[in-house]
Amino acid sequence: MTRTAPLTTDDLTAGAPVHDPAASGEWWRDAVIYQVYPRSFADGDGDGIGDLPGVTAKLDHLKGLGVDAVWLSPFYRSPQKDAGYDVADYRDIDPLFGTLADFDEMLAGAHERGLRIIVDLVPNHSSDQHVWFQEALAAAPGSAARDRYLFRDGRGPAGDEPPNNWQSIFGGPAWTRLAPREDDGPLGPQWYLHLFDSSQPDLNWENPEVHTEFEDVLRFWLDRGVDGFRVDVAHGMVKAAGLPDWDGRAAMVEGTVDEPATDPAAPEDGSTGAGNQGPMFDQDGVHEIYRSWHRVLEEYPGDRCLVAEAWVEPLSRLARYVRPDEMHQAFNFSFLTAPWDAARLRTVVSVSLDTMDAVGAPTTWVLSNHDVVRHASRFGLAEIGGRQLNGIAATDPQPDAELGLRRARAATLLMLGLPGSAYVYQGEELGLPDHTALPAEVRQDPSFFRTDGAEPGRDGCRVPLPWVGGAPGNGFGPSGRTWLPQPGVYADLAADQQYGVAGSTYEMYRTALELRRAEKIGTAGLAWVDALAGSPDVVAFHVAGVVVLANLGATPVALPAETDVLVASGDLVDGAVPSDTTVWLRV
């Protein structure tokens, strides 16, 4: 392969800053936050499902990795129809995961190690097993109990058509009709709205009682000492008045990538343009809710924070969730869905920083979570980019594992070099891929069932973590049981196979996180390397005292002599950065 002429130090000169250092010092502005998906992190009791004692037992792994905070997906009482995102009691722990005492112990253990804890709040919908929904079912149409949810009469003379044409994000209609009762009127039983599974009825945020209840839930966990909340479906709670018909199909993850930014039709912010523009999303009314929650958090000491999970594009709409009196951070899904393309990445980074700077909020960066195909698998697909975010089935084209891991490591090193706050999904520090060939009979995601298997669903990224390579269940828990099977490759990627091993993905994350902290990258400014700002292959920028350089092209990029390489996502070849490799340099 031909090499370009070596870069000189002059070639790496910084251009004008495109982002100024963060003004104030709240911890969440530059935190690296690790997502624990409790059922798949570590199993303490041997039932094959992870739990809170499992998390407590592994806190030293997180401390050693060097993250600042942990966000835990839901562990509340739940029938687990959507893996806990169907909450039956917002103030208690599901026995599957332990007890409130186990939670307190986990929280204390984290705080002792200087790790903050963010819990998940699911306010758009409850479980159908929540006492409120059970009361609503027992009560008459028009009652106060029904008004906590979105019950409506059906359309048509007999009321047997759904109240509108909305589709569930998990597939099928967004309305379910109640069973007939003797006191039904001429329109028969009512229907209730569920943007997700039929076991997840949407709450009515026009009802003041719903507001009071959730403020109380916030206080319950703040009083226990949590440092913040990740707010589920933060763009969905308020629906357009009259619930008008909409012909679009709401999707949590659109999974499509539009043309590169050179396409005149592509959104200027480098986002996918997929958007969620229907009458169930991103309504102005949601912002008043976040203003009131902001005030609740301010009653507590210590910079507690709210993080929006809002699949909203373009980024200028997302920025409205993090205005100074609303939430503190929002997941940057425009970054997550960006393809492995130098121009697109530069655009999404610039626009993200600009847009969030304009409202005084930190930009966040994220590549994986429990809802999307892990980036080590995503980037190994022939169709590079955000395609197939929703899961990969055994019958789909399979990712190239080696290419995927190589690009994932390069993408991670680029991400951790960006100022702001970054999210790491459990297992990505081991370079884990999805299980891309799960048999149908073990799948559990409701989206698989509601689409009759047309969508594989998200189980592939939720496989229990390997801690001890080759042990039963790769050391997930004491019994060797795992609620989903692990792919064979997890034995080699287990944590114990990587600790202290030079060049392992774990050690790359650890080194990068250590440098990120030492160099204060999270609160630094950013300036593009001018000479490479139009390169189709290279993304390069200055941050703090470091140059981050990612080579996405086929041709190796030769570095100036005397360059100090601080960390690299792959081995350099004769002083050149090979294809799909990122380096942090001191020049």
**Nearest CB to ligand GLC, comparing residues 233 and 389:** 233
Catalytic status, residue 299:
yes
**Residue 71 touching ligand GLC (CB under 6 A):** no
**Residue 196 touching ligand GLC (CB under 6 A):** yes
**Residue 85 touching ligand GLC (CB under 6 A):** yes
Question: Which residues neighbour 123 within 8 Å (Cβ) at sequence distance 6 or greater?
Answer: 203, 205, 214, 231, 232, 233, 237, 289
| Min dist. Cβ of residue 203 to ligand GLC (A) | 12
Q: How far apart are CA 484 and CA 98, in angstroms?
A: 20
**Nearest CB to ligand GLC, comparing residues 357 and 445:** 445
Number of residues that bind ligand GLC (CB under 6 A): 10
Among 102, 128, 232, 341, binds ligand GLC (CB under 6 A): 232
**Nearest CB to ligand GLC, comparing residues 84 and 570:** 84
Give the Cα-Cα-Cα angle 226, 130, 78 (nearest 5 degrees): 60
| Min dist. Cβ of residue 119 to ligand GLC (A) | 14
| Min dist. Cβ of residue 252 to ligand GLC (A) | 5
Within positions 336 to 355, which residues make up the interface with ligand GLC, using CB under 6 A? none
| Min dist. Cβ of residue 256 to ligand GLC (A) | 18
Question: Which residues neighbour 473 within 8 Å (Cβ) at sequence distance 6 or greater?
Answer: 43, 48, 464, 479, 480, 481, 482, 486
Sketch the per residue contact string, 294 through 323, with ligand GLC: x for CB under 6 A, - otherwise: ---------------x--------------
Ramachandran region of residue 497, left (φ > 0), alpha (ψ -120 to 50) or beta? alpha
**Nearest CB to ligand GLC, comparing residues 148 and 370:** 370
**Residue 82 touching ligand GLC (CB under 6 A):** yes
| Min dist. Cβ of residue 151 to ligand GLC (A) | 20
On whether the CB atoms of residues 447 and 170 are closer than 8 A, the answer is: yes
| Min dist. Cβ of residue 394 to ligand GLC (A) | 22
**Residue 68 touching ligand GLC (CB under 6 A):** no
On whether the CB atoms of residues 306 and 287 are closer than 8 A, the answer is: no
On whether the CB atoms of residues 166 and 244 are closer than 8 A, the answer is: no
Burial 166-187 (b: 16+ CB within 10 A, else e): bbbbbbbbbbbbeeeeeeeeeb
**Nearest CB to ligand GLC, comparing residues 309 and 580:** 309
Ranges of H-type helices in 268-400: 286-298, 315-318, 333-336, 342-358, 375-378
Residue of 112, 299, 383, 514 with catalytic role: 299
Residue nearest to ligand GLC (CB): 85
**Residue 371 touching ligand GLC (CB under 6 A):** yes
Burial 276-308 (b: 16+ CB within 10 A, else e): bebbbbbbeebbebbeebbebbeeeeebbbbbb
**Residue 455 touching ligand GLC (CB under 6 A):** no
The count of C-alpha atoms lying within 13 angstroms of the C-alpha of 249, restricted to the half-sphere facing its C-beta, is 9
Closest listed residue to residue 448, CA positions, set 530, 507, 392, 398: 392
- The string of DSSP codes covering 61-114 is HHHHHT-SEEEE---EE---TTTTSS-SEEEEE-TTT--HHHHHHHHHHHHHTT
- Give the Å distances, CA to CA, from 418 to 350, 352, 378, 414, 498: 11, 11, 21, 7, 25
Q: Residue 319, class by beta-carbon neighbours within 10 Å (0-12 exposed, 13-18 middle, 19+ buried)? A: buried
**Residue 233 touching ligand GLC (CB under 6 A):** yes
**Residue 122 touching ligand GLC (CB under 6 A):** yes
Q: For the chain, give the number of residues.
A: 587
Residue of 86, 197, 232, 313 with catalytic role: 232
| Min dist. Cβ of residue 459 to ligand GLC (A) | 11
Sketch the per residue contact string, 482 through 511, with ligand GLC: x for CB under 6 A, - otherwise: ------------------------------
| Min dist. Cβ of residue 232 to ligand GLC (A) | 5
**Residue 252 touching ligand GLC (CB under 6 A):** yes
Q: Which residues bind ligand GLC (CB under 6 A)?
A: 82, 85, 122, 196, 232-233, 252, 309, 370-371
Q: Which residues are catalytic?
A: 232, 299
